[in-house]
């Protein structure tokens, strides 16, 4: 269970997040939506302990994330898979070295198992022949898929994705969403996914939160969001209506 309690954050004297509270039960998948600059990435970084809030608390299980020391935080991150925007691959490592990196760092899994897992993941992301390539030989979509493989190789119980399909063509995007769905089905992962692709995250999330200028304007289940009469949320969820175009 992830619990966010009254998170407030200021940046350059302006509020970026105002009193945001929400919960993600174990095994649940939250879609975080909202216009650009609403504070989605900052919230996800606060949840994962990368940015400190000015007020409020984040609990992952029973752990108060922002009360941890750096070493304890590093330990907690072992349970978190993160796929952030521009979460760069290491240019000096091959694709398979990049994917294997989190497992090697953990130091608890033997080389043979790591190699097998990397091969399986390369197959799964549709890049079975890319093992020895370097990131600069890949397209943006391929790099994203490799980043995904690196984020999930430890099969972490919790996964955070920041706009996993940003800038990708529709075919690659649907492949990524398919991978996320498989991950949930296979491991019962708890996840938070930021996306501007409403059609895409409709399929992979069972609850949704919408931020607008740092405020949580919606939090609820898929049924709740489909029947909400909050006009801004409706508009965002349904896309622009014909009325507006006419
Ligand atoms: N380290 C930081 N700490 C606090 N606020 C920040 C930090 N970095 C950027 N901001 C501010 O947070 C605000 C919200 O940005 P954020 O990237 O969270 O929005 P977003 O909803 O993810 O937008 P987009 O959909 O365009 O990615 C921005 O106005 C930005 O100036």
pLDDT of residue 243: 46
Cα gap 83→208, rounded to integer Å: 19
Q: Is the CB of 39 under 6 A from ligand 1?
A: yes
Give the distance (Å) from ligand 1 centre to CA of residue 41.
Answer: 6
- CA 23 vs CA 55, 147, 153: distances in Å: 17, 27, 26
pLDDT of residue 209: 97
Q: Which domains does the chain have, with CATH numbers?
A: 1-79+158-163+187-246 (3.40.50.300)
Q: Is the CB of 214 under 6 A from ligand 1?
A: no
- Tokens 């996993």 belong to 164
Q: Is the CB of 45 under 6 A from ligand 1?
A: no
C-beta separation of 30 from 193 below 8 A:
yes
Give, using CA atoms, the residue closest to atom 6 of ligand 1: 11
Q: At 11, list the tokens.
A: 């940046």
- Is the predicted pLDDT of residue 246 greater than 60, yes or no? no
Taking only the tens place, the pLDDT of each residue in 175-225 is: 888 888 888 888 889 999 999 999 899 889 999 999 999 999 999 999 999
Within 8 A by CB and 6+ apart from 87, the residues are 147, 151, 162
As a whole number, the mean pLDDT across the chain is: 90
Taking only the tens place, the pLDDT of each residue in 62-108 is: 999 999 998 998 888 878 888 876 657 899 999 999 999 988 987 88
Cα gap 227→152, rounded to integer Å: 34
Give, using CA atoms, the residue closest to atom 28 of ligand 1: 37
The three-point CA angle 220-182-87 to 5° equals 80
Q: What is the pTM of this model?
A: 0.88
Q: At 155, list the tokens.
A: 């099969």
Angle, helix 140-152 to helix 95-106, in steps of 10 degrees? 20
Cα gap 159→193, rounded to integer Å: 8
């Amino acid at each position: 269970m992830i619990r966010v309690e009254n998170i407030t954050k200021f940046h350059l004297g302006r509020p970026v997040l105002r009193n945001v509270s929400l919960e993600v039960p174990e095994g649940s998948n939250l879609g975080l939506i909202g216009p650009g600059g609403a504070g989605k990435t900052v919230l996800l970084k606060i949840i994962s302990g990368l940015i400190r809030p000015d007020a409020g608390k984040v609990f992952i299980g029973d752990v108060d994330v922002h009360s941890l020391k750096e070493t304890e935080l590093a330990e907690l991150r072992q349970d978190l898979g993160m796929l952030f925007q521009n979460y760069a691959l290491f240019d000096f490592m091959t694709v398979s070295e990049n994917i294997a990196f989190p497992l090697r760092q953990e130091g608890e899994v033997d080389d043979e198992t790591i190699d097998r897992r990397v091969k399986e993941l390369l197959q799964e992301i549709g890049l079975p022949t890319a093992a020895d390539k370097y990131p600069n030989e890949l397209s943006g979509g391929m790099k994203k898929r490799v980043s995904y493989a690196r984020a999930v190789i430890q099969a972490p119980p919790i996964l955070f994705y920041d706009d996993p399909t940003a800038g990708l063509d529709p075919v690659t995007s649907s492949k990524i969403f398919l991978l996320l769905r498989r991950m949930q089905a296979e491991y019962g992962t708890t996840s938070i996914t930021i996306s501007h692709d409403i059609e895409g995250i409709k399929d992979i999330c069972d609850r949704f939160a919408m931020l607008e200028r740092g405020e949580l304007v919606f939090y609820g289940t898929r049924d709740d969001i489909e029947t909400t009469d909050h006009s801004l949320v409706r508009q965002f969820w349904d896309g622009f209506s014909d009325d507006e175009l006419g």
